[in-house]
């Protein structure tokens, strides 16, 4: 700016003292690497000086020659520079604009200052033209570092968030949709562990380039970190619909990526999708929602895509909250056991009690195991919780046995993670011994899911436990994969028929047929059958009729706290 003022003063002086004109011209040229153009409105005289010839191969002597300058510029910049060169039309005093030349490499900056007289008529103007190519390229480098990821060449997270913000703003105006895809390579750690980090980097790089090939005006792709990418699609439809892009991603699995060491890797990805405005109107929340469902896609077997919906967020937030509170509860042992009685269907005598855990939260509210056990199973808290259940139920058992001398079986639910611990068998046996309990009065309840994960290992452990006298019960029979084929391979004493069968038994003929054959089969295999969730006299009568050995359910007794069990035993004396 000062430079411009200086040049104007110089030119004014030059105009006044025509004799010194040549000298001053030289001075002006020497002091600057820029090209200058001076225009006097009154005299309609235009002169160029400074490094004009380094910039332009033509002279400009009249304002209509400005078009020669404009012709050198890339079209998209020309209009703005034209307005600037005739700045007096807007009545402004000063303005500047950058423009790239048609060679696409060279950048000029135009700066204009107009002097106005007292009546606001323009007196003269000076135009300064600078070559800013070098400055621009340094800026570009800095911009690259700030906006791009070095490994993949994709946008980085920050820039992605900025661009996604633009998408969302536009979608708000145009009432469009923006889809955000959170993409995570499956089993990336395995690749890193088995092939090394250099190869891992190459996979990330190649996958990034592959995803980058979807980039367009309406699709932005970024590398978030490690093996995570994000894609945002503006107005997804046609060949840029989420389904089409996911189909392309799936097709790439078969082809795989050829690495520089000659191996071909076939990478699958788990994808979570959240859409503006349905999932959220905030950019960061959209990314979070897509991440949440990506984990859901991982949990349900990887190599798949899941869409976000609102109840999922609630679920997720609840899970996080429960997880945090659960840690505290484990620490403080804020759990209680309730016990539900089981009766022989023919004699109505007490057969046993199932220990069912409840969590008493800080507001003294009971939280159902259906809510927190699945979370504890995921984050490992089930190990200390499960140990507490075993200890507490054995302690209660020993106490009742001492006080009331009743024979009954104590059933304890066991999770798959507990079962997989190396010391699972010895831990239970130690506690049974320590309490001086007869092992045959303790029963563990396992579900089929335990067996599916590691059949042989679990089978071995169950055989050892059963050899020592502990009873084994198969819980929730009929809900999972229910393969009858493994039944005779396993050391089982009891089979618990799931409540969903009992529910339908009076109304559904085919359920009756299946149930009758299960009871029959259990009987012939020499196991004991227990029907769970029996709520009505009619259900009870039917189960008695088909020969189901044991009944458990609200009809005969709800799960109750230890004090109530005490009362029950006291009455039986």
Give me the residues that bind Ca ion (CB under 5 A), please: 413, 445, 475-476, 532
Query: Segment near ligand C2E (CB under 6 A), from 172-180, 260-268, 302-310, 363-371?
Result: 363-371
Backbone dihedral angles phi then psi of residue 217, each to the nearest 5 degrees:
-60, -30
Question: Among 7, 179, 342, 413, which residue sits at the site for ligand C2E (rule: CB under 6 A)?
Answer: 413
Phi, psi (5° rounding) for residue 410? -100, 120
Q: Of the candidates 128, 181, 292, 373, which one interacts with ligand C2E according to CB under 6 A?
A: 373
342 binds ligand C2E (CB under 6 A): no
Site for ligand C2E in 17-36 (CB under 6 A): none
Residue 553 partner contact from ligand C2E, Ca ion, none using kind-dependent CB cut-offs of 5 to 8 Å: ligand C2E
At 444 the three-state DSSP class reads strand
Q: Tell me the C-alpha distance between 115 and 125, whole Å.
A: 6
Which long-range contacts does 456-460 make (Cβ < 8 Å, 24+ apart)?
457/420, 458/419, 458/420, 459/489, 459/490, 459/491
Assign 3-state DSSP to the chain and report helix, strand, coil percentages, each to 5.
50, 25, 25
The CA-CA-CA angle for residues 337, 341, 345, to 5°, reads 160
Q: Cβ closer to ligand C2E: 317 or 366?
A: 366
Q: What angle do CA 357, 361, 366 make, to 5 degrees?
A: 50
Residues touching ligand C2E, count (CB under 6 A): 22
Piece of the chain touching ligand C2E by CB under 6 A; list 149-157, 198-206, 275-283, 349-357: 349-357
* Shortest Cβ 553–Ca ion spacing (Å): 11
Give the C-alpha separation, 545 to 540, whole Å: 9
Site for ligand C2E in 504-533 (CB under 6 A): 532-533
Give me the helix-helix angle, 310-332 and 369-379, nearest 10°: 80
The nearest distance, CB 537 to ligand C2E, in angstroms, is 13
- Residue 442 CB, shortest distance to Ca ion, in Å, is 14
Residues 6+ apart with CB under 8 A from 295: 270, 272
- Partner that binds at residue 10, options ligand C2E, Ca ion, none, CB closer than 5 to 8 Å by kind: none
Cβ-contact 493, 475 below 8 angstroms: no
Q: Minimum distance between the CB of residue 157 and Ca ion, rounded to whole angstroms?
A: 46
By beta-carbon proximity to Ca ion, the closer residue of 186 and 476 is 476
Q: CA-to-CA distance for 65 and 451, rounded, in angstroms?
A: 87
Among candidate residues 207, 252, 247, the one with its CA nearest the CA of residue 230: 207
List the one residue from 356, 394, 518, 519 that touches ligand C2E (CB under 6 A). 356
Please name the residues in contact with 275: beta carbons below 8 A apart, sequence gap of 6 or more. 177, 178, 179, 180, 286, 307, 308
**Segment contacting ligand C2E (CB under 6 A): 79-87, 127-135, 154-162, 352-360?**
352-360
Residues 6+ apart with CB under 8 A from 59: 48, 65
Interface with ligand C2E includes 389 (CB under 6 A)? yes
200, 352, 478, 553: which one binds ligand C2E (CB under 6 A): 553
Nearer to ligand C2E, 20 or 374 (CB): 374
> Which residue in 259, 535, 547, 569 binds ligand C2E (CB under 6 A)?
535
> CA-CA distance, 410 to 443, in Å (whole number)?
6
CB of 204 or CB of 417, closer to ligand C2E = 417
Based on the shown chain and the rule CB under 6 A, indicate whether residue 340 belongs to the binding site for ligand C2E.
yes
Contact 186, 197 (CB under 8 A): no
CB of 357 to ligand C2E, least distance (A): 4
Determine the 3-state secondary structure of 103 from DSSP: coil
554 forms part of the interface with ligand C2E (CB under 6 A)? yes
Structure tokens at 420: 């997989």
The label of the residue with tokens 């003063």 reads 9
Stretch that binds ligand C2E, among 163-171, 325-333, 355-363, 523-531 (CB under 6 A): 355-363
Helix (H, G, I), strand (E, B) or coil at 132: coil
In the bound state with ligand C2E, the residue whose beta carbon lies nearer, of 77 and 542, is 542
Under rule CB under 6 A, residue 357 binds ligand C2E: yes
- Asked if 446 touches ligand C2E (CB under 6 A), the answer is no
Beta carbon of residue 531, minimum distance to ligand C2E (angstroms, whole number)? 10
Partner that binds at residue 559, options Ca ion, ligand C2E, none, CB closer than 5 to 8 Å by kind:
ligand C2E
Q: Which of 478, 528, 559, 568 binds ligand C2E (CB under 6 A)?
A: 559
DSSP assignment of 55-76: H-SS---SGGGHHHHHHHB-HH
Of residues 471-490, which lie at the interface with ligand C2E (CB under 6 A)?
475-476
| Residue 537 binds to ligand C2E (criterion: CB under 6 A) | no
| Residue 318 CA neighbour count, 13 Å, CB half | 11
* Least distance between ligand C2E and beta carbon 552 (Å): 6
Minimum distance from residue 480 beta carbon to ligand C2E (Å) = 12
Q: Which is nearer to ligand C2E, 228 or 396 (CB)?
A: 396
Token match 């999922």: residue?
A: 312
Nearer to Ca ion, 98 or 503 (CB): 503
Contacting residues toward ligand C2E, per CB under 6 A: 340, 355-357, 368-370, 373, 386, 389, 413, 415, 475-476, 532-535, 552-554, 559
């Amino acid at each position: 700016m000062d430079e411009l003022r200086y040049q104007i003063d110089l030119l004014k002086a030059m105009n006044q003292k025509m004799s010194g004109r040549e000298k001053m011209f030289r001075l002006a040229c020497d002091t600057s690497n820029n090209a200058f153009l001076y225009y006097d409105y009154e005299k309609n005289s235009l002169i160029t000086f400074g490094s004009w010839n380094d910039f332009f191969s033509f002279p400009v002597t009249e304002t209509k020659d400005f078009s020669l300058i404009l012709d050198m510029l890339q079209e998209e910049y020309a209009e703005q520079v034209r307005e600037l060169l005739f700045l007096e039309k807007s009545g402004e005093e000063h303005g500047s604009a950058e423009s790239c030349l048609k060679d696409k490499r060279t950048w000029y900056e135009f700066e204009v200052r107009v002097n106005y007289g007292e009546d606001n008529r323009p007196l003269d103007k000076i135009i300064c033209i600078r070559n800013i190519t070098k400055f621009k390229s340094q800026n570009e480098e800095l911009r690259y570092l700030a906006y791009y990821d070095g490994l993949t060449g994709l946008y980085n997270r920050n820039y992605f968030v900025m661009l996604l913000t633009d998408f969302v703003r536009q979608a708000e105006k145009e009432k469009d949709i923006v889809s955000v895809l959170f993409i995570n390579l499956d089993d990336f750690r395995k690749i890193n562990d088995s092939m090394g980090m250099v190869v891992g980097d190459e996979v990330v790089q190649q996958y990034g380039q592959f995803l980058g090939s979807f980039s367009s005006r309406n699709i932005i792709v970024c590398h978030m970190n490690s093996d995570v990418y994000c894609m945002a699609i503006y107005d997804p439809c046609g060949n840029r619909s989420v389904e089409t892009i996911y189909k392309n991603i799936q097709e790439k699995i078969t082809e795989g990526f050829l690495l520089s060491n000659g191996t071909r890797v076939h990478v699958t990805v788990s994808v979570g999708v959240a859409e503006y405005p349905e999932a959220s109107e905030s950019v960061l929340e959209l990314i979070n929602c897509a991440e949440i469902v990506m984990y859901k896609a991982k949990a349900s077997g990887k190599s798949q895509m899941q869409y976000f919906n609102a109840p999922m967020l609630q679920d997720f937030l609840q899970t996080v909250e429960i997880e945090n509170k659960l840690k505290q509860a484990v620490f403080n042992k804020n759990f209680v056991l309730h016990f539900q009685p089981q009766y022989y269907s023919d004699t109505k005598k007490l057969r046993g009690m199932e220990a069912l855990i409840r969590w008493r939260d800080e507001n003294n509210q009971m939280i159902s195991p259906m809510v927190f056990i699945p979370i504890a199973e995921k984050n490992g808290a089930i190990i200390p919780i499960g140990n507490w259940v075993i200890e507490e139920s054995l302690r209660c058992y020993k106490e009742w046995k001492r006080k009331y001398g009743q024979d009954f079986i104590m059933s304890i639910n066991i999770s798959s993670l507990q079962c997989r611990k190396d010391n699972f068998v010895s831990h239970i046996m130690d506690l049974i011994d320590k309490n001086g309990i007869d092992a045959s009065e303790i029963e563990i309840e396992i579900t089929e899911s335990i067996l599916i994960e590691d059949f042989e290992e679990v089978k071995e452990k169950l055989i050892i436990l059963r050899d020592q006298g502990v009873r084994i019960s198969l819980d929730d029979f009929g809900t999972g994969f229910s393969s009858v084929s493994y039944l005779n391979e396993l050391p089982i004493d009891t089979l618990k028929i799931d409540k969903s069968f009992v529910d339908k038994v009076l109304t559904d003929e085919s359920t009756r047929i299946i149930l009758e054959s299960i009871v029959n089969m259990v009987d012939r295999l020499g196991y004991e059958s227990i029907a769970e969730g029996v709520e009505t006299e009619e259900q009870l009568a039917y189960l008695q009729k088909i020969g189901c050995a044991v009944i458990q359910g609200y009809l005969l007794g709800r799960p109750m706290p230890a004090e109530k069990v005490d009362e029950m035993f006291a009455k039986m004396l």
